[in-house]
């Protein structure tokens, strides 16, 4: 039975109510956070320090959301977004905020998460590492295709809706990916190859996926289709090759399911090579149409260097790379370690990781299919193999409960935690800080003009801390 709120605490907020709020901070989705009679109110596009007038659009037990009507006192960090469709498109959430202020807010989001969930009064969070030029950083574009006013459009869905916003340009995409998407859309329209209509479940093309390698300049385009056959496919290939000479491969992925997931299981090469070559520092990678690769190569190098610094390798250590994906972090660390072992649940990713290891001559790196919470204690028990350093790079949901128990059982000297979600990171820290000491926390801005922040955390076992 819930205890009723006192009259002082009760916030009788209703939908349609208008209110004046002072915005205190940014939320994890980039929305402004204010308080009305102790109740949190989220206001999209409002900035910390602003006094705003807003209208309530939704009321929940613990919070309300409101629409920004008017800025009474404007933040000095407020800026004019360069994107003409910023208000409609769901791709970015912070273009209205000065970039240096974005970096400071991301640091504050990490600090507040650790205070709230890990109960740390003064967590050692360093300033966010940003970009010198925070535009044109995305190496892959996944633009949905649809029909609007009789014309074929390619773009992104409006935030919180299923309305497609056509994009002629995109400031955060590498210009080569935008060019490929636009040219592909034009060709599809000229050849009258129909877009897929998910309501009627008719048509062919669902998504145009363009990827460019920043270092080599090689590019690929993948058409995600609802049908195995593409009408006039030979003409389509010829036109793509003629207008986009930078392409070295054209692929088709078939996804007939009623789903918001972009890719289906089957991919075929229509022309050229099935993958493009990319470099990250000294490492080389072959990227097939569905292969995972970080979307911001410039910041990825900075992130991985922070992982390397946190690991503090001397060449004698056994490193376990958990949730290793295609092996990029493990291979980045391999030259500085005695041995690296990666563990990943997805067999295709492990195959990619093994190919990447062979391609880069990393003889001391091996990759294994399985659950880390099973393999790590099994190796410790049966082979006496105990890691010196464990690197974890989990999904947004954080570490599996069983894996945290396994880490606390195996007790590596150091744990380097790479997180894309400060809330789940802090909740996981709360469970590990009895055994480990939090030595450093380094935010890295992988996605400028969005609320996302990547974090590298260094934990050291308390009995080894000097």
pLDDT at 163: 82
pLDDT at 4: 46
- Kindly report, residue by residue over 34-93, the tens digit of the pLDDT: 999 889 999 999 999 999 999 999 999 999 999 999 999 999 999 999 999 898 887 899
Confidence of residue 11 (pLDDT cuts 50, 70, 90): low
Answer whether residue 10 shows pLDDT above 70. Answer: no
Answer whether residue 2 shows pLDDT above 80. Answer: no
CATH topology of domain 107-131+296-464: Rossmann fold (3.40.50)
- Kindly report, residue by residue over 332-348, the tens digit of the pLDDT: 999 999 999 999 998 98
Query: Which whole number is the average pLDDT over 430-445?
Result: 96
- Kindly report, residue by residue over 289-325, the tens digit of the pLDDT: 888 889 999 999 999 999 999 999 999 999 999 999 8
Query: Which residues are tagged catalytic?
Result: 420
pLDDT at 466: 63
CATH architecture of 140-288: Beta Barrel (2.40)
pLDDT at 178: 94
Answer whether residue 398 shows pLDDT above 50. Answer: yes
Candidates 1.25.60.10, 2.40.50.140, 1.20.140.10, 1.20.120.1750; CATH matching 18-73: 2.40.50.140
- Kindly report, residue by residue over 217-237, the tens digit of the pLDDT: 999 999 999 999 999 999 999
- Kindly report, residue by residue over 100-146, the tens digit of the pLDDT: 999 999 999 999 999 999 999 999 999 999 999 999 999 999 999 99
Average pLDDT, the chain: 92
Confidence of residue 402 (pLDDT cuts 50, 70, 90): very high
pLDDT at 198: 82
Could you give the CA distance from residue 82 to residue 70 in angstroms, rounded to a whole number?
21
Answer whether residue 9 shows pLDDT above 60. Answer: no
Q: Among 61-70, 161-170, 270-279, where is mean pLDDT lowest?
A: 161-170
All CATH 3.40.50.150 domain ranges of the chain, comma separated, are: 107-131+296-464
Query: Which whole number is the average pLDDT over 380-393?
Result: 91
All CATH 2.40.50.140 domain ranges of the chain, comma separated, are: 18-73
pLDDT at 1: 42
Answer whether residue 161 shows pLDDT above 80. Answer: no
pLDDT at 57: 95
Percent of the chain at pLDDT > 70 equals: 97
Answer whether residue 285 shows pLDDT above 80. Answer: yes
């Amino acid at each position: 039975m819930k205890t009723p709120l006192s009259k002082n605490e009760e916030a009788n907020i209703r939908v349609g109510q208008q209110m004046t709020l002072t915005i205190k901070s940014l939320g994890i989705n980039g929305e402004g956070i204010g308080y009305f009679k102790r109740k949190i109110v989220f206001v999209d596009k409002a900035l910390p320090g602003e006094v705003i007038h807003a209208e309530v659009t939704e009321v929940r037990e613990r919070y309300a959301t409101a629409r920004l009507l008017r800025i009474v006192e404007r933040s000095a960090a407020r800026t004019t977004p360069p994107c003409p469709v910023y208000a409609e498109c769901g791709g970015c959430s912070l273009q209205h905020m000065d970039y240096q202020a974005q970096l400071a807010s991301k640091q504050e989001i990490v600090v507040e998460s650790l205070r709230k969930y890990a109960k740390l009064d003064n967590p050692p969070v360093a300033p966010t590492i940003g970009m010198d030029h925070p535009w044109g950083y995305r190496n892959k574009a996944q633009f949905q295709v649809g029909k609007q006013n009789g014309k074929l459009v390619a773009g992104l869905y409006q935030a919180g809706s299923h309305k497609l916003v056509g994009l002629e340009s995109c400031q955060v995409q590498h210009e080569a990916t935008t060019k490929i998407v636009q040219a592909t859309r034009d060709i599809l329209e000229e050849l009258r190859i129909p877009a897929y209509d998910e309501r009627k479940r008719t048509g062919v093309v669902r998504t145009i996926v363009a990827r460019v390698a920043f270092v080599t300049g090689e590019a690929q385009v993948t058409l995600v289709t609802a049908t195995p056959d593409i009408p006039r496919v030979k003409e389509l290939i010829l036109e793509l090759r003629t207008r986009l000479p930078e392409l070295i491969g054209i692929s088709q992925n078939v996804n007939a399911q009623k789903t918001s997931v972009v890719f289906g299981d089957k991919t075929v090469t229509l022309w050229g090579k099935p993958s493009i070559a990319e470099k990250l520092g000294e490492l080389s990678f072959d990227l097939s149409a569905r292969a995972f690769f970080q979307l911001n190569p410039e910041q990825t190098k900075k992130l991985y260097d922070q992982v390397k610094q946190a690991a503090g390798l001397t060449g004698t250590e056994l490193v376990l790379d958990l949730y290793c994906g295609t092996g990029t972090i493990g291979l980045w660390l391999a030259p500085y370690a005695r041995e690296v072992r990666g563990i990943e649940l997805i067999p295709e990713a492990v195959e990619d990781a093994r190919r990447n290891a062979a391609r880069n001559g990393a003889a001391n790196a091996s990759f294994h299919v399985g659950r880390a919470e099973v393999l790590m204690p099994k190796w410790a028990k049966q082979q006496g193999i105990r890691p010196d350093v464990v690197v974890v790079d989990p999904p947004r949901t954080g570490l599996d409960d069983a894996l945290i128990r396994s880490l606390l059982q195996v007790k590596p000297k150091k744990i380097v935690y790479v997180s894309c979600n400060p809330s789940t990171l802090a909740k996981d820290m709360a469970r590990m800080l009895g055994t480990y000491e939090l030595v450093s926390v380094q935010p890295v801005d992988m996605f400028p003009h969005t609320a996302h922040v990547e974090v590298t955390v260094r934990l050291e076992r308390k009995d080894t801390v000097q």
